[in-house]
Amino acid sequence: MKIVIVGNGVAGIFTAQNIRALDKEVELDIYSQEKYPYYWRIKTPELIPGKITTKDLIVYKEDWYRNNRIDSYLGKRVVEIKPNLKELIIEGEKEPISYDKLVLALGSIPNIPPSIKNAINMVGKGVFTLRSIDDALFIRDFIKEKGVKSAIIIGGGLLGLELARQIKNCNLDTTVVEFFPRLLPRQLDTECGEMLKAEIEKMGINVILGAVTEEILSNGEVEGIRLKDGRIFKTEIVLIQAGIQPTIDIAKKAGINTNRGIIVNQFLETNMEDIFAVGDCIEYNNQIYGIIPACVEQSKILASYILGKDKIEYGGTTPKNTLKIVGINLTSIGQINLPEEESGAWEILKKADKKDCCYQKIVLKDNKLKGAILFGESKNLSFVSKNIDKEIDKAMMKKLLELYIWRCPSCGWEYDEAEMQVLFKDLADDFKCVGCGGPKDEFIKK
């Protein structure tokens, strides 16, 4: 049997690796339009200030493919799938490639909001997105060659902030412009968003929130941006990190069901026989994931299923994101805001210590751990990661968070930090016991 994988990112590579672990004989070919062997996509922003080189990003070198008997065809773009003939067409090549089973691991591309006037026609001429090694090298060279002094990053999500940090490392005047009223709108709540903003600003990065970019101003070269409220910010380069679009073009053209992504079932099968899809390019249950844990989880299920071994059903992946900025410790997992339509069984345990810049929020439903934000403190990360969706002991969780009950010795009235969501030490010095009016400094930690 010959399995052909299109895509050499984490989803394609992990699918190949898992297939090979289960079957030593099957023929495995990987095609990729990029010319590099499997590399660490998430570290590409670090290429811009030149802290690392392309070589430092390569995870699996050519010998890995050889040792695993995987034939890799790099710099080869698949332009057409012919499902009836079970063939692929490569750009510029006449001979079709045959397959018995086909895995599409096509990834995604950065989204450029069409509402931003001038953005698309200025791409490469002062407007950039970042997805690949080549994108990063292009941005690095542009900054050097043009002597760029200031940059605006549109998008205050994880990628936008990580990119902003690397741009700041190039000594550029750096500004992040975010559409939502807080940074990391999908991963944080308002309170933690404010704490993060303060930390980002301390790094010398300007942050503008609730800002709708309407136009890239240019006279052939980028001059700045104009917001919907009329404000103008001057800059020489604009980097757009505003979400992703799954790559679906060749699948759609072949008649495979697509929506925002390539539609798959619980076994990562498309609607076409012997064609599967995995990673950023898929849409499962109306959901696009765009994170590595989803690629890894899906690749295991697919490897087993495609070989006719265990039929494990994919049920979605709990989102987990860590901000990779040196000096900032931040992870967000699962559901971090209570769903508005539901109430009742949901509960929050929260410790916000603004002075020490530490915020820990645990979201529970029916005593099960549903989500967490851990900012400025990572000692509970392992516990939270292992226990997501599991029942946990609330008293033990409070202990882990170091949330205490403070008792008034005169009347026995108790201040529970978990319930009040404000630390006892953060209450004003002249706080009085609600029971008897006794002074704050006489309270005893239970």
Interaction pattern, residues 92-121, with ligand FAD; x per rule: CB under 6 A: -------------xxxx-------------
Q: Does residue 362 contact residue 401 with C-beta atoms inside 8 Å?
A: yes
CB of 154 vs ligand FAD, minimal distance in Å: 15
Taking the C-alpha atoms of residue 84 and residue 71, their distance in angstroms, rounded to an integer, is 24
Q: Which is nearer to ligand FAD, 8 or 235 (CB)?
A: 8
Residue 155 lies near ligand FAD (rule: CB under 6 A): no
Q: Quick count: other Cβ atoms within 10 Å of Cβ 191? A: 16
When the beta carbons of 272 and 338 are compared against ligand FAD, the nearer one is 272
**Binding of ligand FAD by 290 (CB under 6 A):** yes
Residue 243 beta carbon to ligand FAD: minimum distance, rounded to whole angstroms: 11
Residue 44 as a binder of ligand FAD (CB under 6 A): the answer is yes
Torsion angles phi and psi, residue 24, rounded to 5: -85, -15
> Which pair of tokens denotes residue 87?
């063939």
Nearer to ligand FAD, 131 or 140 (CB): 131
CB nearer to ligand FAD: give 300 or 407: 300
The angle formed by the CA atoms of residues 117, 118 and 122, to the nearest 5 degrees, is 155
Distance of closest approach, residue 375 Cβ to ligand FAD, in angstroms: 16
Nearer to ligand FAD, 105 or 116 (CB): 105
**268 counts as binding ligand FAD under rule CB under 6 A:** no
DSSP 163: H
Q: Could you count the other beta carbons within 10 Å of the beta carbon of residue 439?
A: 13
Residue nearer to ligand FAD on the CB measure, 91 or 221: 91
- Using CB under 6 A as the binding rule, whether residue 365 contacts ligand FAD is answered as no
Round to whole Å and give the CA distance between 268 and 301: 8
Q: Which of 350, 4, 1, 22 is nearest to 191 (CA)?
A: 350
As a whole number of angstroms, the distance between CA 34 and CA 37 comes to 8
What's the number of CA atoms in the CB half-sphere (13 Å) around residue 419? 6
d(CA 282, CA 59): 24
Helix 10-22 and helix 292-306: axis angle, to 10°? 30
Q: HSE (CB half, 13 Å, CA atoms) of 292? A: 10
Tell whether residue 156 is a contact of ligand FAD (CB under 6 A): no
Q: Which residue lies nearer to ligand FAD by CB, 31 or 404? A: 31
Q: Which is nearer to ligand FAD, 125 or 324 (CB)?
A: 324
- Interface mask toward ligand FAD for 374-413; x: CB under 6 A: ----------------------------------------
* ∠ Cα 401 404 407 (to 5°): 175
Q: What angle do CA 311, 316, 322 make, to 5 degrees?
A: 130
Which positions from 1 through 40 interact with ligand FAD, judged by CB under 6 A?
6-12, 31-34
Q: Name the minimum Å distance from CB 244 to ligand FAD.
A: 8
Total of chain residues touching ligand FAD, rule CB under 6 A = 34
Contact call for residue 324 and ligand FAD (CB under 6 A): yes
Residues that bind ligand FAD (CB under 6 A): 6-12, 31-34, 41-42, 44-45, 77-78, 105-108, 130-131, 159, 247, 250, 279-280, 290-293, 295, 324
